[in-house]
Amino acid sequence: MAVAQASTTLVFARHTWHTGVMSQKTAAKFSKTIVRRVVIHGIDQARAACQSAMASKATSRSSLELWSARSAAGSLGPAWFGNIIDIVRKEFPDITIIGVLDCGDAPGNALAALRHGISCIYISAPSAVADKIRAIALHTKADVRTRRPTMPDLMDYSDPSDFLQAHFS
């Protein structure tokens, strides 16, 4: 009997591994992973999100995606975002943290982010352009996203701690 096998992208620290096929047992393990997403605008918000994720009961089977503001690659740059993600990964080693830098619709910003070593980017460029960036990203083992999910923006909260506690529980 043939067994259907899943394909996935695994992200750990600053590296992304694209795997071909997974066993059903491994695929089932990752399908139960909870992904929590928030938009951050600085190190304090990133730390607050990580602290709330640590306080959550489901930390061992969840990952935290810290998204930049829209088009932050062009306004703040990849170094700013990369440094924030590096800092919180060192401070919170027990959390799987995925930093997603929003490059807007600018391919040049996406390429700059890849050159800087950002492991996950979002681009809203036309699909032909996104496909070319995705092909380039394979050489750096980076993940390229073309859909931005709905998620809370921590800029909307003067003190995001209370909101994050509720959001992550």
State the pLDDT at residue 32. 64
Name the residue type at position 115. R
Instruction: Output phi, psi for 67, to 5 deg.
Output: -95, 145
| Strands (DSSP E) found in the chain | 6-12, 15-22, 34-39, 62-67, 96-102, 120-122, 143-145
Domain range summary for the chain, segments of one domain joined by +: 33-168
Residue 33 in tokens: 């992973």
pLDDT by residue (tens digit) across 101-153?
999 999 999 999 999 999 999 999 999 999 999 999 999 999 999 999 999 99
Strand 15-22 with 6-12, pairing: antiparallel
CB neighbour class for 148 (10 Å; exposed up to 12, middle 13-18, buried from 19): middle
Band (23; pLDDT cuts 50, 70, 90): very low
CATH 3.20.20.70 correct for 33-168: yes
Name the nearest CA neighbour of 98 among 138, 58, 49: 49
The Cα–Cα gap between 102 and 94 comes to 25
Look at residue 8 and tell me whether its pLDDT is greater than 80. Answer: no
State the pLDDT at residue 60. 59
